[in-house]
């Protein structure tokens, strides 16, 4: 059954149709993700632009691009964000992996530019024991190089907050600030908050009071004007665990109150909120999570 998010009849505010959606599979072609997203009632969509577990991908053909653009123009979904491959590490110690990572990120920016996708979300990187300071320095170099190669592109480079698992950089808002301040063309940088990741990194959002404190800290250090997306995921692991395990909304260590604070926060009402929660082939879990977020936006 098709589930559409409809405007509640006696609700006139902009929050009646929250900008929520999910990451959807591109099996069968990137344009196929729109169908999947629409079938569960998404208003925003996140996709990979290639297989996320492989370094290289076939270049997009004119037909791929045309299919994508036609489908996108007909779709009710107007906000699309790309997520990069999981192999990319912009501060890899191994020089050959670092070089491959920079080239792969450039390729992803290329693909976004060709498809007309405005945002490419990626994890800053893992320093592999070199230390956070050195990691940040390498990420800055990587991004400056990529920006130089991708001269004049429209697509924004979106740093995602991380859980700080292993040696992942980006689990403190200060890391994002330092990266943005360091890169050439900082105006090309934007940020995505992953609720599971920041919670696992130690930023609490479980009550109104701590949600406010965390958002203020983000605003003070990074700035809400940089924020272009949320990944809305509950967390299987506790506050500060630095372990990245996504859970269905309300079923995890964050709980419904934290997500209600987010859905009712008027400062971020126009920012797309994207689920990256576990699901099966029939996508019923997406429907369930979207319905919960929709309900929380009205309470
Ligand atoms: Zn991510
Ligand atoms: Mn995420
Ligand atoms: Mn994650």
Domain count for the chain? 1
166 CA from centroid of ligand 1 (Å):
15
104 CA from centroid of ligand 1 (Å):
16
Is there a domain that residue 7 lies in?
no
Determine the Cα–Cα distance for residues 266 and 273; give it in Å rounded to an integer: 13
Q: pLDDT tens digits, residue range 252-291?
A: 999 999 999 999 999 999 999 999 999 999 999 999 999 9
Is there a domain that residue 12 lies in?
no
pLDDT for residue 228 is more than 80: yes
pLDDT band at 15 (very low <50, low <70, confident <90, very high): low
85 CA from centroid of ligand 1 (Å):
9
Mapping DSSP onto H, E and C, the string for 127-138 reads CCCCCHHHHHHH
The pLDDT of 123-128, averaged and rounded, is 98
pLDDT for residue 212 is more than 70: yes
244 CA from centroid of ligand 3 (Å):
5
Is there a domain that residue 61 lies in?
yes
Is there a domain that residue 13 lies in?
no
pLDDT for residue 16 is more than 90: no
Q: Which residue has the tokens 């070089």?
A: 99
pLDDT for residue 210 is more than 70: yes
Determine the Cα–Cα distance for residues 233 and 273; give it in Å rounded to an integer: 10
Q: pLDDT tens digits, residue range 161-175?
A: 999 999 999 999 999
Token duo for residue 248: 């269905």
Is there a domain that residue 4 lies in?
no
Domain holding 191, by residue range, is 20-296
131 CA from centroid of ligand 2 (Å):
23
pLDDT for residue 207 is more than 90: yes
193 CA from centroid of ligand 1 (Å):
10
Taking a 5 Å cut-off on Cβ, the residues next to ion ligand 1 are 160
pLDDT band at 221 (very low <50, low <70, confident <90, very high): very high
Ligand nearest to the backbone CA of 229: 2
pLDDT for residue 203 is more than 50: yes
160 CA from centroid of ligand 2 (Å):
7
Taking a 5 Å cut-off on Cβ, the residues next to ion ligand 3 are 244
Is there a domain that residue 101 lies in?
yes
Which DSSP string do the residues of 160-226 spell out, in sequence order?
Answer: EP----TTEE-SSHHHHHHHHHHSSSGGGEEEEEEHHHHHHTT---SSHHHHHHHHHHHHHHT-GGG
Ligand nearest to the backbone CA of 195: 2
pLDDT for residue 13 is more than 70: no
The pLDDT of 67-90, averaged and rounded, is 97
pLDDT reported for residue 299? 83
pLDDT reported for residue 92? 98
Q: pLDDT tens digits, residue range 37-57?
A: 999 999 999 999 999 999 989
Q: Give the mean pLDDT of the chain.
A: 95
Ligand nearest to the backbone CA of 121: 1
In the chain, what is the straight-line distance between the N-terminal and C-terminal CA atoms, in Å? Answer: 26
Using CB atoms within 10 Å of the CB of residue 292, give its burial: 0 to 12 exposed, 13 to 18 middle, 19+ buried. buried
pLDDT for residue 294 is more than 60: yes
Is there a domain that residue 9 lies in?
no
Token duo for residue 273: 């909120």
Taking a 5 Å cut-off on Cβ, the residues next to ion ligand 2 are 194, 231, 276
129 CA from centroid of ligand 2 (Å):
23
100 CA from centroid of ligand 3 (Å):
22
Is there a domain that residue 179 lies in?
yes
Higher pLDDT, 11 or 156: 156
Instruction: Provide the CATH number for the domain around residue 52.
Output: 3.20.20.150
95 CA from centroid of ligand 2 (Å):
26
pLDDT band at 60 (very low <50, low <70, confident <90, very high): very high
The pLDDT of 81-107, averaged and rounded, is 98
83 CA from centroid of ligand 1 (Å):
7
């Amino acid at each position: 059954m098709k589930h559409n998010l409809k405007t509640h009849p006696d609700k006139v505010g902009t929050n009646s149709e929250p900008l929520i959606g999910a990451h959807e599979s591109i099996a069968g072609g990137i344009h196929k993700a729109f169908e999947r997203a629409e079938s569960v009632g998404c208003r925003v969509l996140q996709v990979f632009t290639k297989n996320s577990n492989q370094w290289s991908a076939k270049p997009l053909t004119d037909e791929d691009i045309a299919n994508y653009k036609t489908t996108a123009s007909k779709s009710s979904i107007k906000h699309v964000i790309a997520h990069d491959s999981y192999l990319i590490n912009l501060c890899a110690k191994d020089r050959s992996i670092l070089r491959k990572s920079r080239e792969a990120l450039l390729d992803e920016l290329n693909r976004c530019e060709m498809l007309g996708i405005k945002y490419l979300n990626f994890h800053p990187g893992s320093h592999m024991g070199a230390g956070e300071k050195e990691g940040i320095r390498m990420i800055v170099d990587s991004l400056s190089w990529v920006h130089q190669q991708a001269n004049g592109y429209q697509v924004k480079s979106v740093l995602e907050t991380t859980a700080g698992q292993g040696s992942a950089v980006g689990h403190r808002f200060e890391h994002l600030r330092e990266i943005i301040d360091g890169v050439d063309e900082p105006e090309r940088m934007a940020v995505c908050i992953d609720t599971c990741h920041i919670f696992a990194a130690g930023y609490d959002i479980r009550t109104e009071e701590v949600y406010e404190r965390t958002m203020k800290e983000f605003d003070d250090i990074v700035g809400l004007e940089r924020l272009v997306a949320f990944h809305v995921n509950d967390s299987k692991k506790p506050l500060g665990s630095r372990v990245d395990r996504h859970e269905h909304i309300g079923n995890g260590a964050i709980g419904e109150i934290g997500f209600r604070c987010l859905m009712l926060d008027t400062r971020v009402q126009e920012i797309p909120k994207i689920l990256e929660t576990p699901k099966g082939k029939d996508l019923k879990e997406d429907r369930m999570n979207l319905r919960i977020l929709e309900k929380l936006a009205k309470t």
